[in-house]
Chain A
Amino acid sequence: MTPLDDTDRRLLNRLQEDLPLTPRPYADVAAEFGITEQDLLDRLTRMKADRVITRFGPFFDAAAMGGDFCLCAMAVPEAEFETVLTKVNAHPEVAHNYERTHRLNMWFVLATETPEAITATADAIERETGITVHRFPKLQEFFIGFRVAA
């Protein structure tokens, strides 16, 4: 991976905030930094290829579309981990998934187009794996401070 320079870092901080809805949005942001549109696109393309940025685009809120989100966790025996992972990740409703240091070692978020699909998907994963899917829907959200200082 190419080490990030100062411009990359400043750009990454800026690009965690909203891109303008204009015909040339990258040129508009480039102008804020005094760089060319092509330079910005080259940097963004490189950071995406290097996986510094995992995704660039709209962040959708499934709940605002009439759907729902739910954090789920499973206690997966080590020997079965990869097999279970394949089954869980095969569901397109699994938006992200992390391995964590706990008896509950697999934590994933379901994002679905209807509230009912949360239960249906979690139940399907339980049937396919034979492992309980603990469900932790949010009751209250205190803050989303999504920015990471690069």
Chain B
Amino acid sequence: MIDATDRRIIEALQGGLPLVPAPYAQVADDLGIEEAALLDRLAALKTRGVIRRIAAAPNHYKLGMTSNGMTVWDVQDDLIGELGAHIGALPFVTHCYERPRALPDWPYNLFAMVHGSSPDEVEDKRGQIAAILGSACRGSDILYSTRILKKTGLRLKAKG
């Protein structure tokens, strides 16, 4: 869990880190705390996994990754752990999860995101996944993203 100071820090940083030479000093100043105290707090939040990393979120489209497919698979339940680990380790898969099916509309329980510079490239990668899953897979589909509708990341609600 997070305390009130952690919460103020997260609120101050959720829009992003300032692009100035001493960003943590600026944020600490805004919060009325010492820079060293802020750095200690951030290190503790990282240790606890609340902050995964401080980094750039790239826009796939602007980097020429114009084909972004969410591949979805109906995989035999008793094999999903083993096969999911195999698919997740493929270098071109960026996210891979087991999720519940929503029958009858949605029979798929394995989700793997695949990115490429053309639909052919993505289809080729999808074929490689299909080959690994083999007969343990009873059906699949691919959903291309056609538009980013929102991308803000986590926002804490204002309290009080």
Chain A residues proximal to chain B, CB less than 8 Å: 1, 4, 12, 15-19, 21-27, 37, 41, 44-45, 47-48, 50-62, 64-66, 71, 73, 85, 89, 92-104, 106-108, 111, 113, 134, 136-148, 150
Contact = CB atoms under 8 A, between A and B. Distances in A.
Interface of B: 1-2, 10, 13-17, 19-25, 35, 39, 42-43, 45-46, 48-60, 62-63, 65, 70, 80-81, 84-85, 87-89, 91, 93-100, 102, 105-106, 111, 115, 141, 143-157
A97 to B, nearest CB: 4
- Interface SS majority for chain B: mixed
A58 B21 contact: no
Contacts of B17: 19, 56-58
B56 A55 contact: yes
Contact of A45 (B19, B141, B146, B153): B19
Contacts of A98: 145, 147-149
B144 A104 contact: no
A42 to B, nearest CB: 9
A15 B13 CA distance: 17
A127 B77 CA distance: 33
A101 B119 CA distance: 13
Contacts of B46: 21
A30 to B, nearest CB: 10
A108 B151 CA distance: 10
B35 A23 contact: yes
B149 A60 contact: no
Given A12-B58, A134-B102, A134-B106, A97 B150 contact: yes
Contact of B150 (A25, A50, A89, A142): A89
Contact of B16 (A56, A62, A146): A56
A142 B56 contact: no
A12 B56 CA distance: 7
A142 B97 contact: yes
Nearest to B101: A136
B97 A55 contact: no
A16 B85 contact: no
A15 B55 CA distance: 5
A143 B89 contact: yes
Contact of B10 (A60, A104, A150): A60
B56 A96 contact: no
Given A66-B2, A98-B149, A148-B63, 7 more contacts: A55-B152, A56-B16, A89-B150, A93-B155, A95-B152, A96-B149, A147-B94
